[in-house]
Structure 1
Amino acid sequence: MDTGPQPADNAATRFVRKVNQRCQYLLDKSCPHTTGRWIALLLALAFYVARVWYLRGFYIVSYGLGIFNLNLLLGFITPQIDPELEGPELPTKADAEFRPFVRRLPEFKFWFASLKSILFGTALTFFSVFDVPVFWPILLLYWFVLFFVTMKRQIRHMIKHRYVPFSLGKKKYGKGPVAKDSK
């Protein structure tokens, strides 16, 4: 059943669409600037930590932020195809076919989700309803235990399946010593 022509977009819809397009444009432009993006993330994190330190509160927000970012980190250092679940995809012998490490969560999405979470956490610190009184040393201790247990399991997985999720980029071949002509 056709309802006829749709009414024109109102001003609010056009404004939201324009803001979304502008944000997407800026994200697209930031993609090749890896160092700048991570510096921006560290600055946002430093601002958040300074704000929580100054306010002496919002520890439950910080704990949730830490758990969320730990989950993102696990996705970042985990292969897209898990050898334990899908079979051995990573080479285990010298003559096996090389398959590059493909992350479950790409670097840009990891950065963007972390930045959004930190900005969201910072926004929550402006509302006192989220400042739930807790004994923060217990939360901190529990987060560290969770972090070390999770990383221990992940590192064992890396060793077992022989993959390294970090690289320093593409190998560069420079001009080495040039052999002299021998006549």
Structure 2
Amino acid sequence: MSKVELGPFVSVYSGSLGAGVDEVGRGPLAGDVVAAAVILDPANPIQGLNDSKKLTEKKREALFPEIQAKALAFCIARASVAEIDKLNILQASLLAMTRAVQGLNPQPEHVWVDGNKIPRWQYPAECVVKGDSRVAAISAASILAKVTRDREMVALHEQFPKYGFAGHKGYPTADHLAAIAEHGITPHHRQSFGPVRKQIEQMDLF
């Protein structure tokens, strides 16, 4: 088992099947939380990987198919709005990441998890704070998850154009909060989140 340097990234062990996992969508008021897991191929490197939030939309969209084509394995998974409301957003995020890793074929021998919480699973794993900018496999996972979720929010915008989902992607911007106040909530809003719950309570007063 040997260490390799991945460009600007920290050293990681390449002698076993290591996966990176990340999630997108903890903060929004609407939509699923989406996670992705990726096992990269050291023999088929991908240039330009970074934290998805630091990349332009154009760059993320270009990397999306390249990651899928060059990775040894990848899986995109989610936890639904109903699961978020039932479990809370942290547990739903961990569930989505678990589903993503479980969906990999082949299965990883080690997992790097972005952040500071490891799901309860059987995989040897370690947390990497800001891992989406430090570990290439996590960066790749963050790109797959973000592009997938952003596309879903654009599709949701087509169903509910008054809410502006294509622009804010479900996050609690002033425009989004104003739309909720004016038009109420959709079935895709997370009812356990404060601004959404507040709107429900106001509606119940009438």
Q: TM-score, normalised to structure 2's length?
A: 0.22
Q: TM-score, normalised to structure 1's length?
A: 0.24
More strand by share: 2
